[in-house]
Structure 1
């Protein structure tokens, strides 16, 4: 899994897709029946549909679930779903692909998996390009999601749309602590460090003890700093028309020293290298963390919990941070998170029914149903803002079918059930600012077989060395020698060549 994919997975698994609200920008009206939803036709036996898909719910639904039955009824299908936890989705994907027993709709979190790409090259999956025009709701998926998920210029997958900015591990920060300590919203990395220092040393929670954390961190939630220094998203940057990996850049060395400075001054979690997401959630919810890396939609989730004991609490998303060269930076995605492919063993007439089933999920009716359920039963709506009910949780709508029909709106990261209008307006403002501050990932849509096979091991070695330097187990000179040797590594050189060949081909060079 590439780093971008890891970030997306990590982010979404923290919040559950139920934190996204209010469909916008989709075709049709809320109560309009989907025109292509009946995968099995309006009459006759239902179409059997097998799926394997990631599930973020605390509890997986089964065929007795309300929403399972409702979607079957509206699409005239009989569903056989294998839900997979985010914790082992890549392992499960590889095992399934290797077995040959591939479901009708195969979820792929990472389209650059070497095994999947090899199977595509061998003709094991349908090229869906000729069929897509016949399914009107697919037009509701943004064009960039379709474009960025192409393989060799063709649509072998149906992408799950995801907002360009607002996801990924980027800082949320306690605005009420900033106000109390007379600090403005940090804009530069140095201002961010100064805020963390104040959070640690100046008793922002007012209990008279030095017991607060500046940035509650895992190793992954520090990666935005490396990207900020390199002024690029993803693992690669463009220099003089060529791609080069961030890991060997001098800018990454400077980022490492910045992070070590945070650690040495006690401004980030002491055990960041081994902490889990649950530890960070606990630190934030207990009111002991001044900042942490999350998707934007977590801001209100945490704020709502914190206000149970502190009515002034506000955990808000930072719009951006400026790098050493003055560039504004924020995390950006490729515009989709995961996708579905159909194996070639499925006959063409069934392919069309499967596409109808998926198309239904991007109608206004289908998208709203999968993400919120039934109005006035699973959610209420006031002035355009949705609020989920107890029935929403009872019927296991949190997670589950959201993984099949991803909410098709930027509100996935800006609007949360129960969010007040002022916080929603703040999120929208931040989203707009982030759109102007997000450099592109130049490696989006590129594939290198060597990169798919060899990069994970190289990256792990780099990550391990970085952690050792931050913890003081290795000197920066050892890191320098390590990177110097890495630059000569034959595997890395092979990856760089293949990635640049793919980059040149994509750009017609």
Structure 2
């Protein structure tokens, strides 16, 4: 379902109310005047990014002008952020907008009624409701929306690859486990760098190969047809490692390990070391994100000017199929303790919506014209003072609402940079969500880390040949008995309660 269809599905009563709600805005489209006729006062708690911007700096003053507000921003260091937010929530002394992370403390506060549910109001705000529905689903609590996500790309999962190596070896981009195995073997034994030695790899694994949202094992399994961590299979909530498509990829790595086609130290190798191996021309495949193609190309060609690096979405038997990412860097919520009326809530939402209008959007993603960026002759923009942008604009961009390319001109960049930006948008359609991302399970809250470690260790044992297929199935049964079946049942109940 597209974002537009999702919002159209909201009740007619709410949409009708939206016609009247437009009166909350001023005629110029801003968030509306305060009761005394001046700009709307908006206090916010945000994460400090770099140095704290000086009060009344040029970027902040323009943002206030574009949104008809008077901002009071409390910048909190990242290291102390969650602790500070916890104190604020406990005392009920919060600003009108607070950046929250999707963590148990916050979810419990939402369930306690401390924050406004904003889902029914979103159709009234054209910029907020124009964004893909999955962004909002991924911060929902029991199917309801209590904030506006700090939008991030969900379909950015890609891999970098040495195109010159593939071309030299006469290979295409792999699309299934068998082809990945053949490409891996060719990169190890076919001397793609031409130095006469078997000193190259395709994939190199690290100790995080099976954990986190960017886990290589998950990304390859999803491309092969598996669910993304958790999904609905035949109407039932199902973990990925029980699926045959996942086991095919796991077995592929087992064969690679047995034949010494992948690094034998992967279980203890840090991920940063793998990145350095690609930069140095030792690895031919690199697990990455679309926007990193530019920097990867620049690093690699410093070491080898003749190298050619490209990237691709993960491709499987059904075409591109990506492990979708959460699509947010936290979310902006509105506390009931500081925003007490529906009328004020609507003015705050109007401010958030106005933040994505053209003038404010350009400010947040490009900065100030002729200071941080300039227009180009081909209808694009280019950053002219990157250091000043990082210092003066980035703190606002990273904490507030923006979507690259939405109400902004394209950014002129290198071919690799422009491809990375384009792919992150185009590949959204191929992103497979983790269906359990916002579900609740008491057992998972209590023992989730232990259970994930248990099955993750079993994956490593299987790859390294310490257990066979029967042993792998036994490990799954052990996981089930240790609480896994209870997690499945509770996730199913949570899912059913939302989708009934």
TM-score band by shorter chain is: 0.7 to 0.9
Change in 2 beyond 3 A, CA 1:368/1:205: farther
Following superposition, the deviation at residue 145 of structure 1 comes to 2.9
Map of 1:479 onto structure 2: 472
CA distance in 1, matches of 2:391, 2:411: 17
Following superposition, the deviation at residue 449 of structure 1 comes to 4.2
Map of 1:488 onto structure 2: 481
CA distance in 1, matches of 2:267, 2:423: 33
Please point out which of 140, 144, 152 is paired with 1:162. Answer: 152
Q: Which has the higher contact order (CA 8 A, sep 6+)?
A: 1
Map of 2:175 onto structure 1: 187
Larger Rg: 2
CA distance in 2, matches of 1:431, 1:417: 16
The answer to whether the 8 A contact 1:160-1:337 is kept is: yes
Map of 1:107 onto structure 2: 99
The answer to whether the 8 A contact 1:322-1:328 is kept is: yes
Map of 1:289 onto structure 2: 283
Q: Does 1:63 align with 2:54?
A: yes
Question: Where in structure 1 are there 5+ consecutive unaligned residues?
Answer: 1-32
SS class of match (1:387): strand
Following superposition, the deviation at residue 156 of structure 1 comes to 1.0
Change in 2 beyond 3 A, CA 1:419/1:476: same
CA distance in 2, matches of 1:40, 1:264: 69
CA distance in 2, matches of 1:39, 1:259: 61
Q: Does 1:365 align with 2:359?
A: yes
SS class of match (1:288): coil
Map of 2:110 onto structure 1: 120
Change in 2 beyond 3 A, CA 1:256/1:187: closer
The answer to whether the 8 A contact 2:184-2:203 is kept is: yes
Map 1:56-455 to 2 at 5 A: 59-63=50-54, 67-68=59-60, 70-72=62-64, 74=66, 75-84=69-78, 104-110=96-102, 113-129=103-119, 131-133=121-123, 135-165=125-155, 167-168=156-157, 170-218=158-206, 219=209, 220-229=215-224, 231-233=226-228, 235-308=229-302, 310-322=304-316, 329-333=321-325, 336-348=328-340, 351-352=345-346, 354-382=348-376, 383-393=378-388, 395-396=390-391, 399-409=394-404, 418-420=413-415, 424=418, 428=422, 432=426, 434=427, 437-443=430-436, 446-455=439-448
The answer to whether the 8 A contact 2:149-2:331 is kept is: yes
The answer to whether the 8 A contact 1:159-1:339 is kept is: yes
Between stretches 260-269 and 65-74, larger displacement belongs to 65-74
CA distance in 1, matches of 2:276, 2:262: 15
SS class of match (1:418): coil
CA distance in 1, matches of 2:243, 2:375: 50
TM-score (normalised: structure 2)? 0.77
CA distance in 2, matches of 1:395, 1:435: 27
The answer to whether the 8 A contact 2:366-2:372 is kept is: yes
Between stretches 480-489 and 346-355, larger displacement belongs to 346-355
CA distance in 2, matches of 1:436, 1:135: 24
For each residue in 1:103-149, what CA deviation from the matched residue of structure 2 results, as whole angstroms up to 9, or x when unmatched? 54333443xx3333322221111122454455443234334433554
TM-score (normalised: structure 1)? 0.76
CA distance in 2, matches of 1:92, 1:221: 35
Map of 1:20 onto structure 2: none
The answer to whether the 8 A contact 1:137-1:362 is kept is: yes
Structure 1 vs Structure 2 CA RMSD? 3.8
Map of 1:456 onto structure 2: 449
Question: Where in structure 2 are there 5+ consecutive unaligned residues?
Answer: 1-26, 210-214
Following superposition, the deviation at residue 214 of structure 1 comes to 1.7
CA distance in 1, matches of 2:425, 2:339: 43
SS class of match (1:459): helix
CA distance in 2, matches of 1:271, 1:109: 35
